[in-house]
Amino acid sequence: MSQADIPLTATDIPRIKIVGVGAAGIAALSRLHASGLKEAQLCALDTDATALALSHIPEKLMIGQNVTRGLSAGGEADVGRRAAEADRERIAQALEGFKFVFIIAGLGGGTACGASPVVAQIASQSGALTVVFASMPFMVEGARRHRQSEEALKVLRLCGADSIFALPGDLLMQSLGADATAPEVFQLAGQWICRAVGALCRSFSPRAAAMVDFGSVQKMLVGKAGKTLFSIGRGEGKDAFDEALTNLMDCPLMRIPQATSHTGTLMVYLCARPDFDISLLNKLSAFIAEKFPFHATMLVCAYTYESLGDAVEVYLFGTGDAAKPVKAPTEPPREPTKKQPVSQEEFGFVSTQAQRGYFDGTQPTLRNGEDLDVPTYLRRNLKIVLN
């Protein structure tokens, strides 16, 4: 019997709901559905009646019928917000009784940017741990979409989202190479979001080969504002594990200069076939501890799949703690520090040289010392005000 076949009783795990908001969110949700995730209930939410009709997700929530007439928010966050506001009660009903709510979306779109914060607010007000996974638009989608997506990140935080994992499309594109097409990048974003969300759902499942308790996961994610880190690595064949570790550190999402010195809690997650060598877990945690010497806590989980064959996947999640700056373990205790304002620098999605990426082979378009070919959120360190 594989782990996935072990029956769970209703009281085994906290109830989890994953809400896919807008077309991109529903696309990622469909992957989770196809992956056979049993730990969570899925809900597709949109302003677009056709998109919902085409979705295979059993639970569908059409919002703002009177606002959009079922024709989507047309890229307007304000329309998406009004649609969600109009259906607050139905959204609240859909989230009732869930302790953990994931919101997944492609920020940039009107429904994603406008409705996601309303969903986050309703989830947060109901007392659920509220975590957002979002892809950020490409620079080629234009300044307006960027502004809208940055604004949506701010509003999501103000609306009570506990942790937000934002996957910048341009960084993902770099990992696929210069020839990558937009659909390929969307596919990758969807895949990574699906894996990340699936991993977090399974981390405290009794089906996990090495599980953590929900309280620890909650502690890692609650109230972390923008200070998050996510990376993913995969290897195959004889040296699958080592290859996965290298791949993990090479993941474009790791190109965050301050990440190694500001992680509060880390979660490492290993996916391998059922007969995996358990000592890999020690190797994995030792490897991560070496790379992130100043982390305070490390959670270690494993989940097995027959279907992985000789492949190994490793995931890394990190969150910072705004209230308690993390010290090196060897440092002597210091006087208690005052509550620090959250610094966006600590987990900004900016890399060295601001990741010119798409425009690598061209001359920069400089104005006032800034490279305008690099999107605002990269140039300005995701200039999000965290209150």
Ligand X SMILES: Nc1nc2c(ncn2[C@@H]2O[C@H](COP(=O)(O)OP(=O)(O)OP(=O)(O)O)[C@@H](O)[C@H]2O)c(=O)[nH]1
Closest of 239, 238, 223, 295 to residue 265, by C-alpha: 295
Considering only residues 115 to 144 of the shown chain, the ones binding ligand X according to CB under 6 A are: 135, 137, 141
Closest of 134, 129, 99 to residue 223, by C-alpha: 129
Interaction between residue 48 and Mg ion (CB under 5 A): yes
14 versus 70: smaller Cβ distance to Mg ion? 70
241 versus 349: smaller Cβ distance to ligand X? 349
Interaction between residue 186 and ligand X (CB under 6 A): yes
Q: From ligand X, Mg ion, none, which one binds at residue 174 (CB under 5 to 8 Å depending on kind)?
A: none
Backbone φ and ψ of 320, nearest 5°: -100, 165
CB of 302 to Mg ion, least distance (A): 37
Spatial contact of 150 and 175, defined as CB atoms under 8 Å apart: no
Interaction between residue 373 and Mg ion (CB under 5 A): no
Helix, strand, or coil (residue 374): coil
Interaction between residue 20 and ligand X (CB under 6 A): no
63 versus 200: smaller Cβ distance to Mg ion? 63
User: Which tokens hold the place of 341?
Assistant: 């304002």
End-to-end CA distance of the chain: 48
Which stretches does DSSP call E strand in the chain? 16-21, 40-46, 60-62, 100-106, 129-136, 163-168, 228-236, 265-272, 297-304, 311-319, 366-367, 370-371
Per residue in 275-312, is it b (16+ CB within 10 Å) or e — as a string?
A: ebeeebbeebbebbeebbeebeebbbbbbbbeebeebb
d(CA 368, CA 285): 44
Q: From ligand X, Mg ion, none, which one binds at residue 108 (CB under 5 to 8 Å depending on kind)?
A: ligand X
Count CA atoms within 13 Å of residue 308 on its CB side. 22
- Per CB under 6 A, the list member of 20, 108, 233, 318 interacting with ligand X is 108
User: Which tokens hold the place of 21?
Assistant: 């908001």
44 versus 166: smaller Cβ distance to Mg ion? 44
- The site that binds ligand X (CB under 6 A) totals a number of residues, namely 26
Q: From Mg ion, ligand X, none, which one binds at residue 168 (CB under 5 to 8 Å depending on kind)?
A: none
d(CA 40, CA 25): 16
CB of 87 to ligand X, least distance (A): 14
Closest of 109, 122, 176 to residue 149, by C-alpha: 109
113 versus 221: smaller Cβ distance to Mg ion? 113
CB of 47 to Mg ion, least distance (A): 7
170 versus 346: smaller Cβ distance to ligand X? 170
Considering only residues 62 to 91 of the shown chain, the ones binding ligand X according to CB under 6 A are: 72-75, 80
Handedness of CA 53, 57, 58, 59 (dihedral sign): negative
Category of 368 on φ-ψ map: left (φ > 0), alpha (ψ -120 to 50) or beta? left
CB of 72 to ligand X, least distance (A): 4
77 versus 300: smaller Cβ distance to ligand X? 77
Q: From Mg ion, ligand X, none, which one binds at residue 342 (CB under 5 to 8 Å depending on kind)?
A: none
170 versus 373: smaller Cβ distance to ligand X? 170
| Contact range with Mg ion by CB under 5 A, out of 22-30, 139-147, 163-171, 236-244 | 22-30
Interaction between residue 76 and Mg ion (CB under 5 A): no
- Per CB under 6 A, the list member of 20, 110, 198, 375 interacting with ligand X is 110
Q: From ligand X, Mg ion, none, which one binds at residue 137 (CB under 5 to 8 Å depending on kind)?
A: ligand X
Site residues for Mg ion per CB under 5 A: 22-23, 48, 72
Site residues for ligand X per CB under 6 A: 22-24, 27-28, 47-48, 72-75, 80, 106, 108-112, 135, 137, 141, 145, 169, 186, 189-190
